[in-house]
Structure 1
Amino acid sequence: MAEALSDLAAAARSIRTARNRIMLGVAGAPGAGKTTFARALVAELGADAAHVPMDGFHLADVTLDALGIRDRKGAPETFDRYGYARLLVALASRPPHTVYAPGFERDIEQPIAAALAIEPNIDVVVTEGNYLLLDGWRDARAGLDEIWFVREDETLRRERLIARHIAFGKTPDAARDWVATVDDANARLIEQSAARADRVIRLGNVSPVRSMGE
């Protein structure tokens, strides 16, 4: 049964919170459509909502190299989850000044400091990331009122990931290998946490959203 994006926006606004603004997380596997959904939801919510993705907390390649984990970039240990949790706490407190957050530049696959500005008038923050429901991310979970889990057709999800890796410089064979060895392992781990979500959304059933990526 199809869900209207307007109904999901109304559900987001109805979230009960003891914080100074509503904090909504969106989790899901790589390529499931989290970013597309979060952006569409924020657009539906209007000018007093903001999208703050977790991607800005990717560890930089120089740090991944120093730790010897660049070959699994995108796995849980390749993010600054405590820095991300601190940002969520700061946003939830709604300080009377602009809060700057890091973004992520796909063209160079690197985080960009202070790329996002969240103003005091924002009533709803929508953040999205793969691992929000995992045990090791409880500090981040504590900064959120609800977490919604998004799913997409598995074949389509994997095709998107392969296409994305190719678009950003990998050969087709390298892209398929990365999805099989890194992204699929992460997806299985993420799926195990789905039962903890406050709401599960099948993106193929959301109108007018047609998810196209992360």
Structure 2
Amino acid sequence: MSTAPILDAAAAVETLADLAAATDRVIVGLTGPPAVGKSTAADQLARGCRERGIRTVVVPMDGFHLAQAVLDERGWAPVKGAPHTFDALGYVELLSRIRSERDRTVWAPAFDRSLEEPIAGAIEVAPDTQVVVTEGNYLLLPDEPWSELPRLLDAIWYVETPDELRRERLIERHRSYGRSLAEASQRALGSDERNADLVRSTRERADAILLLP
């Protein structure tokens, strides 16, 4: 059983505010299984920080999905979302730049869910950015280059929500892409669930557990 502290959204914003007051830039990662609510949590924390006047940007790991054409060419489309379907080294390098290049803007990619494609140069991390919240499935994997991430981040929090709700969200997400209920369920309970098991195996390495309703 993890001994990491438990945070709710309000406590997480308080923690970010305290970290931001102690230094000129904080980078905190949110990790957890697919559809657990990482993007929602990141946006919620960023909004809470901005309400306090803290300049905050969200940088998702999903911007480093390999292009769909690459996945199709290599036969990886059926397991899109697995660790090898991301440009992990590119993600590490971006966070290293955000950490070290403080006197100029760093541009980060976003991920367009309507297109299911990454969009380069979509997110501005300006020199005056105080808090960067990054989120993705594999921030605590022990394998290289993912294993470089903890040294680049001030903290990594593991996001949790009830598994039944998470799977329902995942099925609905796949259906929104035009898949039938059977296809969506097969994907959610197949390759996505294998990815979820992998992410759950990293939970003990988190600095805190962020509980979502």
**Shared fold (TM-score greater than 0.5)?**
yes
**Shift of residue 19 of structure 1?**
7.7
> Residue type of the partner of 1:86?
E
> Residue type of the partner of 1:110?
E
**Shift of residue 6 of structure 1?**
3.3
Tell me, in whole angstroms, the C-alpha distance in 2 between the residues paired with 1:102 and 1:81: 13
Tell me, in whole angstroms, the C-alpha distance in 2 between the residues paired with 1:67 and 1:12: 40
When the two chains are superposed, the root-mean-square deviation of aligned CA atoms in Å is 1.9
Deviations 1:93-134 (A, max 9, x none): 243222111100101100011111111111110000001001
Please tell me whether residue 31 in structure 1 is matched to residue 40 in structure 2: no
Query: Is 3-12 or 185-194 further displaced after alignment?
Result: 3-12
Tell me, in whole angstroms, the C-alpha distance in 1 between the residues paired with 2:70 and 2:103: 33
Deviations 1:41-86 (A, max 9, x none): 0000115111111110000011112322111000111001100000
Please tell me whether residue 83 in structure 1 is matched to residue 87 in structure 2: no
Q: Which residue of 1 aligns with 2:193?
A: 184
What runs of 5+ residues in structure 1 fail to find an aligned partner? Answer: 205-214
Equivalent in 170, 181, 202 of residue 211 of structure 2:
202
Deviations 1:156-206 (A, max 9, x none): 1000000011011111110000011111111111001000000012211xx
TM-score when normalising by structure 1: 0.89
Tell me, in whole angstroms, the C-alpha distance in 1 between the residues paired with 2:23 and 2:47: 22
Tell me, in whole angstroms, the C-alpha distance in 2 between the residues paired with 1:17 and 1:152: 29
Distance change in 2, residues 1:42/1:162 (3 Å):
same
- Checking the alignment, whether the CA contact within 8 Å between 1:84 and 1:140 is kept in structure 2 is no
Q: What's the secondary structure of 2:190's corresponding residue? A: helix
- Checking the alignment, whether the CA contact within 8 Å between 2:7 and 2:209 is kept in structure 1 is no
Q: Which residue of 2 aligns with 1:109?
A: 116
Distance change in 2, residues 1:138/1:19 (3 Å):
farther
Q: Map of 1:42-61 to 2, 5 A cutoff?
A: 42-46=46-50, 47-61=54-68
What runs of 5+ residues in structure 2 fail to find an aligned partner? Answer: 1-5
> Residue type of the partner of 1:39?
D
> Residue type of the partner of 1:150?
V
**Shift of residue 18 of structure 1?**
9.9
Equivalent in 55, 71, 86 of residue 78 of structure 2:
71
TM-score when normalising by structure 2: 0.90
> Residue type of the partner of 1:176?
S
Q: What's the secondary structure of 1:30's corresponding residue? A: coil
> Residue type of the partner of 2:176?
A
Query: Is 31-40 or 137-146 further displaced after alignment?
Result: 137-146
Q: Which residue of 2 aligns with 1:208?
A: none
Which runs of 4 or more aligned residues in structure 1 lie more than 6 Å from their structure 2 counterparts after TM superposition?
16-19
Tell me, in whole angstroms, the C-alpha distance in 1 between the residues paired with 2:99 and 2:17: 15
- Checking the alignment, whether the CA contact within 8 Å between 1:21 and 1:94 is kept in structure 2 is no
Give aligned-pair identity as a percent. Answer: 40
Tell me, in whole angstroms, the C-alpha distance in 1 between the residues paired with 2:108 and 2:151: 18
